[in-house]
Amino acid sequence: MPTLAELLSQTYAQTEPLRGATVGNLQSILAGAPASSLPAYAPNRAAIEGQYNVGLEQARSLLPRGGQLNRAILDLGQGRGRAVSDLESAIRGQAMNQAAQIGFGGLPGLISGTSTSEQLAQRQKAWEQQQFNAMFGNIGQGIGLLGSILDLF
């Protein structure tokens, strides 16, 4: 039966590659590198761009040329800008929190069974669900807008 010290040493050795990559990413963020340099940025940015492109195509196909279309495109662009800005802030804040946990609280989390990586995976899953909900909410708004336009005829 291995001792707690042996188990901790084994876990520490097994997680070295992950810790090395994580610490490197966090050090670059803390040194001022853009959040876009982290691996989590690209798929989230792609989701924002995909959502924007779907909304843009819907607006162009459903709305007549003129003020209403221009307003819809402007709103989409502003929403996209907010989402990108929020993404940058969220990733930078998450990196700061993760750095603090690693620097000051990694071992108690490891012993208690609630690891930092598990918490981050839960946050990432919540973020992805939020993006999914927002995407389908916008599609619902587009369908509702289409319905209100069709009621005019």
Report the 10 Å Cβ neighbour count for 51: 22
Higher per-residue pLDDT: 118 or 21: 21
Residues of the chain with pLDDT > 70, as a percent, come to 73
Sign of CA dihedral 108, 112, 102, 82: negative
Structure confidence by residue, pLDDT tens digits, 126-148:
777 777 666 666 666 655 555 55
pLDDT-derived band of residue 113, with 50, 70 and 90 as boundaries? Answer: very low
pLDDT-derived band of residue 65, with 50, 70 and 90 as boundaries? Answer: confident
Q: What is the pLDDT of residue 35?
A: 79
Region 42-65: mean pLDDT is 88
Domain ranges across the chain: 4-151
